[in-house]
Amino acid sequence: MGNIVRWGILSSANIAKKSMVPAIHEADNAELVAVASESGKGQATATEWNAKTYYDSYEELLKDPQVDAVYIPLPNSLHKKWVIEAAKHQKHILVEKPAGITSDEILEMGGAARQNSVLFMEAFMYQFHPQHQFVKQLLLDGAIGKVRRIRSSFSFPLDLTSDNIRLKQNLGGGCLYDVGCYNVHVSRFILEEEPLKVFSSARKLNNSGVDISATSILTFEHADAVIDCSFDEAKVNRYEVIGSKGTIEVPFAFRPDQNPNEGKGEVILKNMDGEVLDHQFFEANQFTLQVQHFSQCILSGDDPKYTPESTYNNMKVIEALYKSQG
């Protein structure tokens, strides 16, 4: 393996094309060597993505001894099958969020990874962006006093009459799975604890029962998180941390690349009266940082900073929110 992790990608998904392929090419410890597509696009995709090898089946890619790690951006309902298959073939695994659609699936995937001595990480790329480390430092410094509330939103408009996989219940569709998982994650990430109870209300498509908008409350020991997500609202991806002495706003929390200000991360610190005390910008590619981190863990043998245990805990919260919706 040397100093480079050789990556394969299962599927020609758009998220891979737009974000992960450029990230792998940009990372200094990673190389894209293979892509597999079961829709007959393998050769064309490999050429477009500048990958050395293509396969027309996922199984064939997993058999390739030149592949050290795989990225899996398949529909949510297929994650468990191919994570376990990748582990059996001794491939390290970065899987798109949500890693599974139940906590039991997460346990199975984590168990398969441990049994086969490979690393397994869910691709919450946003957490690697330096804007969030700055937020964490502000909290450690007591810049806003004690955290009392977190408000987070992640939404975008989707054609609700389309054939999009996000609207298919049998493929693990739904806005809480797709974007709400970020809201859940950032609440736990900021507070570094698990909620004691949760409540959620959702609007659903009549023909499929898939949630298209949801509003939820997570109750922690000393703070609350109010989260909302939607496929039926304008583009928003932000969070705000409200403390006893001030607030911290992150207006492009999950997709800083959508910031009109040169795609930079942005953190705004305000006092009790709403006056701006600090306004910082952060330039980074969070997808590249994620690839570099996971690749370095493979090379060094260290565990990723985002663990399968945390992935399991995130899914437990999502399960409870869905149960609350009834």
| Partner residues linked to 54 by β-bridges | 35
Angle between helices 130-140 and 181-191 (to 10 degrees): 40
Residue 251 phi, psi dihedral angles, 5° rounding = -75, -20
| Residue 157: band (very low, low, confident or very high) from pLDDT cuts 50, 70, 90 | very high
Using CB atoms within 10 Å of the CB of residue 122, give its burial: 0 to 12 exposed, 13 to 18 middle, 19+ buried. Answer: buried
Q: What average pLDDT does the segment 119-125 reach?
A: 98
Displacement of CA 64 from its chain's centroid (Å): 27
Q: What average pLDDT does the segment 88-116 reach?
A: 98
Query: Backbone dihedral region of 154: left (phi > 0), alpha (psi from -120 to 50 degrees) or beta?
Result: beta
Q: How far apart are CA 64 and CA 69, in angstroms?
A: 11
pLDDT at position 1 is: 64
CATH of domain 5-126+288-300: 3.40.50.720
Residue 239 per-residue DSSP state: E
Q: Which of 29, 16, 19 is nearest to 72 (CA)?
A: 16
pLDDT over threshold 90, residue 244? yes
Q: Which of 302, 288, 320 is nearest to 119 (CA)?
A: 302
Domain limits, the chain: 5-126+288-300, 130-283
Displacement of CA 62 from its chain's centroid (Å): 23
pLDDT at position 119 is: 98
Q: How far apart are CA 163 and CA 184, in angstroms?
A: 27
Q: What average pLDDT does the segment 316-320 reach?
A: 98
pLDDT at position 42 is: 79
pTM of the model: 0.96
130-283 folds as: Dihydrodipicolinate Reductase; domain 2 (3.30.360)
What does the longest C-alpha to C-alpha distance in the chain come to? 60
Terminal-residue alpha carbon distance, the chain: 49
- Percentage of residues in the chain having pLDDT higher than 90: 95
| Residue 251: band (very low, low, confident or very high) from pLDDT cuts 50, 70, 90 | very high
Strands (E), the chain: 5-10, 30-36, 53-55, 69-72, 92-96, 120-123, 147-155, 197-204, 211-219, 224-230, 236-243, 246-250, 265-271, 276-282
Q: How far apart are CA 285 and CA 24, in angstroms?
A: 11
Q: What average pLDDT does the segment 277-282 reach?
A: 98
pLDDT over threshold 80, residue 207? no
pLDDT at position 13 is: 86
For tokens 């953190």, name the residue: 267
Q: How far apart are CA 238 and CA 252, in angstroms?
A: 5
- On whether the CB atoms of residues 264 and 250 are closer than 8 A, the answer is no
**Of the listed ranges 9-13, 103-107, 251-255, the one predicted with least confidence:** 9-13
